[in-house]
Amino acid sequence: MATDQNKFQAIISHCKEYGFIFQSSEIYDGLSAVYDYGQYGAQLKKNIRDYWWKSMTQMHENIVGIDAAIFMHPTTWKASGHVDNFSDPMIDNKDSNKRYRVDHLIEGFAETLEADAAAALIAQMEELLKENDFAGLKKLIEDNKIKCAVSGTVNWTDVRQFNLMFSTQLGSVSEEASEIYLRPETAQGIFVNFLNVQKTGRMKIPFGIAQVGKAFRNEIVARQFVFRMREFEQMEMQFFIRPGTQKEWYAYWKEERMKWHKSLGLNPANLQYHDHVKLAHYADAAVDIEYNFPIGFKEVEGIHSRTDFDLSQHQQYSGKKLQYFDPEINQNYIPYVVETSIGLDRCCLMILSEAYEEQDLSTAEKQDSRVVLKFPAKLAPIKLAVLPLTKKDGLPEIARELMAECKQHFYCYYEEKDSIGKRYRRQDAIGTPFCVTIDHQTKEDGTVTIRHRDSMAQERVPMAQVKEIVMKKIME
Ligand code: ATP
């Protein structure tokens, strides 16, 4: 698998240096696998979230959005199977005490092998995972002499399950307090509200409920920046359908979601499907959409055919009927569900990875380079930088007029300091698609120089056209 650790490290440093993503509680040396989004990261994330929300809800007349609480009745997680099943097989190295997720340990080793040998090893692993054959997995690790990266030894414990849910106490008095969980996925907030939404929204099957929100997982090995976090954000949509139609709807959403990824301007060669071999306890079919990160092809989104598992379980555990009367066939049934589930943080990392470019611009006369984030204009945190050439001669006043006109429509950035060249470079580094320079000619004929981020081409246009030029690009 082709990976580019240098590029990955460069993106992490860039995110920190330019206010996209910081380690949480950095002044206390950080908290492992928890991250804060800075001024540009938060805006990038919001733009992706809004784009997803719009394409799911506004663009589908039969999908509505909700916002359920993070805390849920603890029985929810018993019913959903998370208390008993939401765990990963793990193994500890006895010499270093370092804990590994078994699949990550084996996959990491497979990356060091030739393609055929790696594929054979992964196939063996997936078969054993499917059978929950822990002894077999340990033997596979031992037979391949897979070593701990820290101790360099093969002195392993048995393989065990590790539940990924965080728990806490609800209630002020300890005797009365009950144990509750921080949700490990947003989906259950949708299932328990299925009837509320169906009835109050007079929804007819097929219909969907979408939601964006935080989820928490006590990941065993949390690494790889915002790819694997302990607190992260999910964008999920549950599509409720008539039993027996799940194959068609699964195929539909599989294709529809791939189209969405391509609409983000991603190179299609960087996207692929990966069918699940080991299905989750609730699924009858599942596929991942993977993106070619600098650390290799990895999951960004899962599409799962969840059958009627969740609603049946909630009906059983709550004792409340969760059925739908289908007037077209005159029948009551528990709907089947096809889910699309995408991680917002992974999506940010995907957009950053695709956009990040180091360019050598040296000529015979001088050395030059730039780092540019080639975000699609609709996702860029700042759309337009307004730059008066000097701080005097009335240029800032004209620049302020343009700011006032544009900032009602999209995010703008105003800057007077430093040479225009330096200011351009700073905007390239945060991915601003357009810079406009106001100079002395502007005072004479009302034109400005607009500079395009990717081509670095500059053209003279009437200032009155700037807003339209930017708006047109954002709408693409
Ligand atoms: P993985 O196999 O990588 O742990 P998963 O299959 O458990 O992921 P799902 O339960 O299908 O993931 O969750 C749906 C989406 O939520 C994933 O495709 C991913 O984008 C995101 N996600 C899951 N776990 C994390 C995490 N720890 N950090 C960031 N995003 C996550």
Could you report the per-residue pLDDT of 279-334, keeping only the tens digit for each? 877 788 999 999 999 999 999 999 999 999 999 999 999 999 999 999 999 999 99
Mean pLDDT of 107-122: 93
Tokens matching residue 33: 């696998």
Quick one: angle between helices 395-406 and 466-475, nearest 10? 40
Listed in sequence order, the DSSP H helices in 302-408 are 309-318, 344-355, 395-406
CA dihedral sign of residues 418, 371, 40, 460 = positive
CATH fold label, 382-474:
Rossmann fold (3.40.50)
Q: Is ligand 1 within 6 A of the CB of residue 229?
A: yes
- Compute the distance from residue 50 Cα to the ligand 1 centre, in Å: 20
Q: What is the dihedral of CA 238, 263, 227, 82, to 10 degrees?
A: 10
Q: What is the DSSP letter of 58?
A: I
130: left (phi over 0), alpha (psi -120 to 50) or beta: alpha
Tokens matching residue 330: 């005159």
- Element at 110 (helix H, strand E): helix 102-110
Mean pLDDT of 222-228: 88
Q: Whose CA is nearest to atom 26 of ligand 1?
A: 228
> Which letter, b or e, does each residue of 240-270 get, where b requires 16 or more Cβ atoms within 10 Å of its Cβ?
bbbeeebeebbebbbeebbebbeebbbeeee
CATH fold label, 4-86+164-352:
BirA Bifunctional Protein; domain 2 (3.30.930)
Mean pLDDT of 22-29: 96
- Compute the distance from residue 343 Cα to the ligand 1 centre, in Å: 6
Q: Model confidence at 175, in pLDDT bands (50, 70, 90)?
A: low
List, as residue ranges, the binding site for ATP: 217-219, 227-232, 299-300, 343-346
Mean pLDDT of 74-83: 94
Mean pLDDT of 205-213: 98
List the single range of 217-221, 325-329, 339-343, 454-458 with lowest mean pLDDT. 217-221
- Which residue, among 171, 138, 153, 158, has the nearest Cα to 95 in the 3D structure? 153
- CA dist 238 and 261 (Å) reads 18
Domain residue ranges of the chain, discontinuous segments joined by + = 4-86+164-352, 382-474
- Asked whether residue 1 carries a pLDDT value surpassing 50, the answer given is no
- Asked whether residue 174 carries a pLDDT value surpassing 70, the answer given is no
If one residue of 346, 348, 351, 353 were mutated to test the ligand 1 pocket, choosing by the most ligand atoms within 8 A of its CB, it would be: 346
Q: Is ligand 1 within 6 A of the CB of residue 302?
A: yes
Averaged pLDDT score across all residues of the chain: 94
- pLDDT score recorded for residue 382: 98
- What percent of the chain has a predicted confidence (pLDDT) above 70? 98
- CA dist 264 and 379 (Å) reads 8
If one residue of 232, 274, 277, 338 were mutated to test the ligand 1 pocket, choosing by the most ligand atoms within 8 A of its CB, it would be: 232
Tell me the pTM: 0.89
- pLDDT score recorded for residue 85: 83
446: left (phi over 0), alpha (psi -120 to 50) or beta: left
Tokens matching residue 435: 């810079």
- What percent of the chain has a predicted confidence (pLDDT) above 90? 89
Residues in contact with 390: Cβ distance below 8 Å, sequence separation at least 6, in sequence order = none
Q: Model confidence at 278, in pLDDT bands (50, 70, 90)?
A: confident
- Compute the distance from residue 174 Cα to the ligand 1 centre, in Å: 33
pLDDT in tens, 367-381: 999 999 999 999 999
